[in-house]
Structure 1
Amino acid sequence: MWSSGFKWMFLIMGTTIGAGYASGRELWQFFGDQSGLAIILFTVIFSICCFVIMKISYNVKSEHFIPVLQQLIGKRLAHIYDVLIILYLFTTTIVMLAGGGATLEAFQVPFWVGIFLFCALLVLLFVWGIKGMVTMNIFILPVLITGLIITLLLFISSSNNNLSFDWQAQNNWPSAFTFTALNILPLIAVLSAVGKEMKHIGEARIASVGSGLILGGISFIYNESLMQVAEEIMLYEIPLFAILKYYPYPMLVFMSFLLWSAIFTTAASGIFGITTRFREKLNLPLWVLAIISLVLMIPFTTFGFATLVSVLYPIYGIANLYLLTSILLYPIMNRYKFS
């Protein structure tokens, strides 16, 4: 049970620690000053959400997100969210593909070569189906998390600042809900696909609590580090680089590789959510569905998404908050079914 719980824990973290999180951009956007309480609340809310999703997924033995959505918000709204989740996964994965290609350009790899290499690795990953996805996270996430934590702690130590928490100044606590909501759609898409693979509900408890505590701890340390370079962050597209400028060049290369890995795990989660959604209807292996998805996505990697994002993201924001509320209320409204 413990080993299975840990593998789902890494799956959760692989879905959440994407390029935006690893680069510090998401954390700085939602947290910043007076956010210690917000991060504690995020830890609790995130753990509850993961457990509720996994509990429903385990009960209905789901292989994709539709059965879980139907339990949470009913069949009518589930159809609307079905379209929203597919659009969300499709658009974010395209951005990750473009980001993967652009990142490799820094190492003198042509953009299109980088994208095709990225896609080839994704297809290879799904040859092993869910096992490939889980195994990737088990190998990549410990390195990514360890590298990130060591870098941040060394920075805090070198700047002669201690981690602090002032209960008197915690006005940013509502950000806990918006930050959790940001990650709800991909979490539902990924965690709903493993219900049939779970053998015991204890796996969900281990995965949800473990991932919440680790992400909460990293978020607090990362936020404190970014606070030390707050005046410089506006000069950097990637806030992490405001910290890395104090390190030697090899560390910059290493962390760039970790950022590329974070982009890859985000793209893999997107493809995983899409392929498991259509596997039952098309009756094709995941790696074939991955090829089809990537072929449809690649032409869009050169397009600007400013208009699309400006239209879709406000919709995602409202949809995510409604879904977050539904998840948090589900155990209360269905306490007999949920027990």
Structure 2
Amino acid sequence: MFLIVGTMIGAGYASGRELWQFFGHDSSLAILLFTVMFIICCLSIMSISFKQQSGDYLSVLRTIVGKHLTGVYDWMIIIYLFTTTVVMLAGSGATWEAFHLSYRLGVLAIAIPLILLFVWDIKGIVTVNSLVLPLLITGLLFILIVFISDQNLSLFSHVTETDNWKAAFPFTALNVLPLIAVLGAIGNRMTSRKEVWVASVGSGLILGVVSFLYNNSLIQISDEILVYEIPLFAILQHYPYGMMVFMSIMMWIAIFTTAASGTLGLVTRFRSYWKQPLWIVAFAVVALMLPFTSFGFSTLIEYLYPLYGLLNLYVLSSLLIYPLTQRFKIS
């Protein structure tokens, strides 16, 4: 469950930039639709990977999109994981920059522990996620609830505004490919179908609640968001400096967990071609990413995320109908 949440809550999500890019005003129905579709997608991917006891995403992807499109989407996943992990590295740089520290130092501060994490193989990632994600989610929820309470905001004042409902589809589609990559790599680690249900429903509900509260808070300060590279800092400006430091650390953890998930998808995919320990493969992958971090955090999100959201709509539709096709086959 926390591996899924860690894959989702990265630099774009935790900073508020990704949510604001897709949702914003009139999006209550969109967030509800996202929650339902996300749960169904997780159920489909985990059911396939558990059934196949997969060690990387390729066989899972073949089941979802078919034999003919597997090659196309395989390359899309590789490029997607590469570029979004670059976004995470750039997000670390932007976080350090907010404290008037070196952008490049911020990038290196995530790149080095990211490589070291894979010394413990896949177990390292699962352990880190299970330890830090509860802390991250609690911290983010605490900030949002305090902000809503202090500003006397109505939680449900925007519930009836539903014009932006279509945003749920590209937003969910955007996050489908990393889920396939990460969950496809741990099929052989699952021991029961109960894990599939707990992880899928639990992660979907957590992300739905956090997304609703976060988006509701950002709507109240929509005029101030334009000034900030990281929208979360527009909320934190109302609080003592210590709170900003705490949430910046939390956001950096979110960036790290998503970068780790993206790197996991890549290194497990390449492991069959390059028979080396995972940390050596991770070192090579991260070294290739470093030059691309100079493009900047918000620029990468602004152009890359909507593009991927549209390209992944076919994968999303395949995952949504997968439970129906399986039931039809059985009957």
Cα distance in 2 for partners of 1:231, 1:108 equals: 24
Query: 1:235 aligns to what SS in structure 2?
Result: coil
Equivalent residues in 2 for 1:100-119, closer than 5 Å:
100-107=92-99, 109-119=101-111
Going from structure 1 to structure 2, the CA distance change for 1:306 and 1:131 (only over 3 Å counts) comes to closer
Cα distance in 2 for partners of 1:223, 1:312 equals: 21
Give deviations 1:22-81, integer Å, cap 9, x for gaps.
111111122222222221111111000011000001111111111011101111201100
Equivalent residues in 2 for 1:286-297, closer than 5 Å:
286-297=278-289
Instruction: State whether residues 18 and 301 of structure 2, in contact with CA within 8 Å, keep that contact through their aligned partners in structure 1.
Output: no
Deviation at 1:336, TM superposition (A): 4.9
Match of 1:282 among 267, 274, 282: 274
Give deviations 1:200-252, integer Å, cap 9, x for gaps.
11101000000000100011111111122122222222211111111011111
Instruction: State whether residues 229 and 298 of structure 2, in contact with CA within 8 Å, keep that contact through their aligned partners in structure 1.
Output: no
Q: Corresponding residue for 2:226?
A: 234
1:94 aligns with 2:98: no
Cα distance in 1 for partners of 2:296, 2:236 equals: 29
1:187 aligns with 2:187: no
1:198 aligns with 2:198: no
Give deviations 1:139-170, integer Å, cap 9, x for gaps.
22111111111111011111112311566432
Amino acid at match of 1:199: T
Instruction: State whether residues 126 and 290 of structure 1, in contact with CA within 8 Å, keep that contact through their aligned partners in structure 2.
Output: yes
Deviates more, 1:131-140 or 1:279-288: 279-288
Deviation at 1:308, TM superposition (A): 9.0
Amino acid at match of 2:237: K
Q: Corresponding residue for 1:243?
A: 235
Cα distance in 1 for partners of 2:300, 2:221 equals: 32
Amino acid at match of 1:221: L
Instruction: State whether residues 171 and 309 of structure 2, in contact with CA within 8 Å, keep that contact through their aligned partners in structure 1.
Output: no
Report how many aligned residue pairs link the two structures.
Answer: 331
1:14 aligns with 2:17: no
Q: Corresponding residue for 1:216?
A: 208
> Any unmatched runs of 5+ in structure 1?
1-8
1:152 aligns with 2:132: no
Cα distance in 2 for partners of 1:97, 1:200 equals: 35
Deviates more, 1:175-184 or 1:89-98: 89-98
Query: 2:270 aligns to what SS in structure 1?
Result: helix
Alignment identity in percent?
A: 58
Query: 1:186 aligns to what SS in structure 2?
Result: helix
Deviation at 1:114, TM superposition (A): 3.6
Instruction: State whether residues 39 and 176 of structure 1, in contact with CA within 8 Å, keep that contact through their aligned partners in structure 2.
Output: yes
Going from structure 1 to structure 2, the CA distance change for 1:313 and 1:115 (only over 3 Å counts) comes to closer
Q: Corresponding residue for 1:139?
A: 131
Q: Corresponding residue for 2:45?
A: 53
Deviates more, 1:145-154 or 1:107-116: 107-116
Q: Corresponding residue for 2:258?
A: 266
Query: 1:174 aligns to what SS in structure 2?
Result: helix
Q: TM-score, normalised by structure 2?
A: 0.92
Cα distance in 1 for partners of 2:176, 2:103 equals: 31
Give deviations 1:261-298, integer Å, cap 9, x for gaps.
12211211111110011112222221111111112222
Deviates more, 1:233-242 or 1:55-64: 233-242
Instruction: State whether residues 61 and 195 of structure 1, in contact with CA within 8 Å, keep that contact through their aligned partners in structure 2.
Output: yes
Q: Corresponding residue for 1:3?
A: none
Cα distance in 2 for partners of 1:329, 1:305 equals: 34
Amino acid at match of 1:23: S
Equivalent residues in 2 for 1:317-328, closer than 5 Å:
317-328=309-320
> Any unmatched runs of 5+ in structure 2?
none
Cα distance in 2 for partners of 1:277, 1:83 equals: 11
Two-structure CA RMSD over aligned residues (Å): 2.4
Q: Corresponding residue for 2:119?
A: 127
Deviation at 1:103, TM superposition (A): 2.8
Going from structure 1 to structure 2, the CA distance change for 1:119 and 1:231 (only over 3 Å counts) comes to closer
Going from structure 1 to structure 2, the CA distance change for 1:85 and 1:215 (only over 3 Å counts) comes to same
Q: Corresponding residue for 2:73?
A: 81
Q: Corresponding residue for 2:321?
A: 329
Deviates more, 1:97-106 or 1:317-326: 97-106
Deviation at 1:86, TM superposition (A): 0.4
Instruction: State whether residues 47 and 196 of structure 2, in contact with CA within 8 Å, keep that contact through their aligned partners in structure 1.
Output: yes
